[in-house]
Structure 1
């Protein structure tokens, strides 16, 4: 019998849901998820928030990990590699900060040891620390998009806190399918530009979807001149951000606390923000599209979830095809980490589903669970379900991964049409 290779990709913090022992710096870890890859193919994937019910959770994905193992019918001891969505250098820096705050960590030498201890404590089994693979965060985003696009050759743009531009090819495994063309430091983070703007308007950093939904109702021209002082387009697809000048933009809108009514001035600021991000993204892409000659594009990272920006990219005519990673946020990093650690060959056909989550089961199993949430939802058996129940069990089951359809859930393969 041929031996299989199992790789587990993880994203999230180190605490289980019931503990706050190792809280990372604010917004450092979130969107926890687990992905199981077998011989280079995804066999299970689920976000932790779907199971622990904490939206955009920063906890370790223990429930998601268990769900992936259970779905495939394997134990943690059967897994060959455990991939984490951070470089070892970055993770060790974080451990250094934790060690200063928690004297009991004095005996933990590094991030590898801390990750091993956290998993062993919760899963109650020994793991070899050499099985742990650290994958740089930017790479996990890039691999998660390039390897699932089905493109022979593509330009890959990661719009994230540490973004970058790559060329991708499916001729090699996931560890070597990317060539970096440009790297953008946190000082050039479009996500930070977005977060600073919406925080000043009374939104939390995790309410960027709700805030950006205001853009179509605002007029970007009102604050266009002020917003253009915040960024500077440079040669070769580069740019600078002057965060200190953002105050001149947001001060034009009245102060607002979270939950208070939104006024037209707030909508105008958001519209100007969206226009600025679109202009920067297109500036970057125009240069690298011309320099590389590649006409297929992959997008990943939290900034890739701004639908209006994606629409502008598609409408620009720069690319024949645009693939947006469905889990473009940090949960998708678990997928990229697993594919990278497994050195999985990129897909030869575009991603056509994301049905890797837990099985919802039949209507008879789902309805009682839904009705327990009766204060928030109404669950009824449809006529189609009743007909199916009378005629016997349906061969079709439904699975999910990530977000339900919303502004955080984007079509996986947007194609231009004539």
Structure 2
């Protein structure tokens, strides 16, 4: 018996995508407990209908149990949708992480039989500070890659549905050939049951004959074992004969209608905004010299009430005046050149710019420039950036202004 639980939350992300979380994978002794339903079959049903499948592994507890292996095998033919996340990677050292990553790829290689390696994202996907910050830059880059991948899903949803339609049409055509072939080979009077068993046992030969006769790709045929199982409960004498006109209609649809639909989908994709998932970690910084950025992290954990940036402001001022400010402010291009020296990803610097440009004029005065450098320092020390500027980080000259962010 299946039980579903649904939660609706006022989050902008959920306006673009729906997230389905599976029950925890059983391992060890728990695997002997029956769920009461075919877990792998349920996941296979969902896999046919979703745009992205994310397999989560904990870096400090890497274990592909028998049930997990069964689940991954059930996702066969959906490898293009699969992504792997190696989570909690900040809980182990760099050397251990290399070993864990290698072990994970080796284990997955034995289960997922594809020529291409499944994309693995390494990181610590929560808002808490990293326990072992040695690989912070790697984690941030991986996080942004995963977010970009998820952001592209709405743009590609229509194309995926069209591909599913093509796949179903080809499968329907192949099944028509299979069913008509089985009906034609059945005797009219005697020995029907024995002939049925023979045809089911030799179904692979029927597949091979149809493949050659009609020039059909082997990948268009249904799973052999599953088809044999389903045929056992069928009466072959009641199968319909082949209807050439219907097959011609399917061929015409695949050759002409699909091409027109494909062109329409491409036109719609081109008209869609580049950032189709918004809110939370997917919120883009559309303005400023760094383009797009992401993330609404936790507060950075600084408790002082005074403007803490003031301690290092004389040092930041020296840099500020080397950038040839005009009317007391430096341009985005000039600030960007200096900020890039931190080696932080553009996505992180984009958020820092958004926080530091308090009055939102696309320029930085000496206070805002000092704030930007302070936030860079905070990030380099392994802390998370604040979602919005707390009072003690807002420059005194900007406090009380309606422009505060």
Q: Which has the higher helix share?
A: 2
Q: Same fold (TM over 0.5)?
A: no
Q: Which has the higher strand share?
A: 1
TM-score of the two chains, using structure 1 as the length reference: 0.18
